[in-house]
A and B are shown apart, each in its own frame.
Chain A
Amino acid sequence: EAAVTQSPRNKVAVTGGKVTLSCNQTNNHNNMYWYRQDTGHGLRLIHYSYGAGSTEKGDIPDGYKASRPSQENFSLILELATPSQTSVYFCASGDGQGAQAPLFGEGTRLSVL
């Protein structure tokens, strides 16, 4: 069964600390995505990847880095976390075909204090 798994599911971080959010997919999809969801802003694309070794900036990449070490794994990295990065983060994967709807993970709730 196709799956996108995120870890951790909940995270509390301190301002200025480093945070890494992980995503694993078993769908053998080429493309992976990181979104954040905030009230009033909906889902916004942070970074995406075409495949292992590639990362691309999405619509709101500032303050975030991404890493795609393998086909299955895609990480979102906050080097210096700030309270404005408190949000719910979703990872998704897709096969790169225009008509294919990306599959979403369960989400990670991040609070930066």
Chain B
Amino acid sequence: AQKVTQTQTSISVMEKTTVTMDCVYETQDSSYFLFWYKQTASGEIVFLIRQDSYKKENATVGHYSLNFQKPKSSIGLIITATQIEDSAVYFCAMREGYNYAQGLTFGLGTRVSVFP
């Protein structure tokens, strides 16, 4: 069974700095997809970035990037040049490759607070 673990409950950072948050996953499948979502204060859940298990290169979208360490089953999210509006809860999620129709398995989330 797949499992996603985010051990950091909350992180506080100063604006314009870099924040890194961790995610560890468990799967028996050799093919899988890893996702990061952001949940804003209004409750909206927004997709940020994805990593495919077969790709060695770390994904990057805007000021979001991933640190994919496959041997450690780890997928960290890095936000550079943070802004106040980056304050949110960030969820790591996984989908195993054998059944694309199934929903994602989520971690419990990491709350990021960005201070001026």
Residue ranges of A at the interface with B (Cβ–Cβ < 8 Å) = 30-31, 33, 35, 40-45, 48, 50, 56, 58, 88, 90, 92, 96-99, 101-104, 106-107
Establish whether residues B103 and A92, one from each chain, have CB atoms under 8 Å apart when the complex forms.
yes
B interface residues, how many (CB within 8 angstroms): 25
Residue ranges of B at the interface with A (Cβ–Cβ < 8 Å) = 31, 33, 35, 37, 43-47, 50, 52, 91, 93, 95, 97, 100-109
User: A40-B108, A43-B91 are known contacts. Are A98 and B43 too (CB-CB below 8 A)?
Assistant: no
User: What residues of A have a CB within 8 angstroms of the CB of B104 in the complex?
Assistant: 45, 102
8 cross-chain pairs, A with B, having the tightest CB-CB distances, nearest first: A104-B45, A101-B47, A98-B100, A45-B103, A43-B106, A42-B108, A33-B103, A42-B106
Establish whether residues A35 and B103, one from each chain, have CB atoms under 8 Å apart when the complex forms.
yes
Q: Which one of A44, A101, A107 contacts B43 once the chains associate, using CB atoms below 8 Å?
A: A107
Establish whether residues B108 and A48, one from each chain, have CB atoms under 8 Å apart when the complex forms.
no
Minimal beta-carbon separation of A59 from chain B (angstroms): 8
User: A42-B107, A42-B109 are known contacts. Are A50 and B101 too (CB-CB below 8 A)?
Assistant: yes
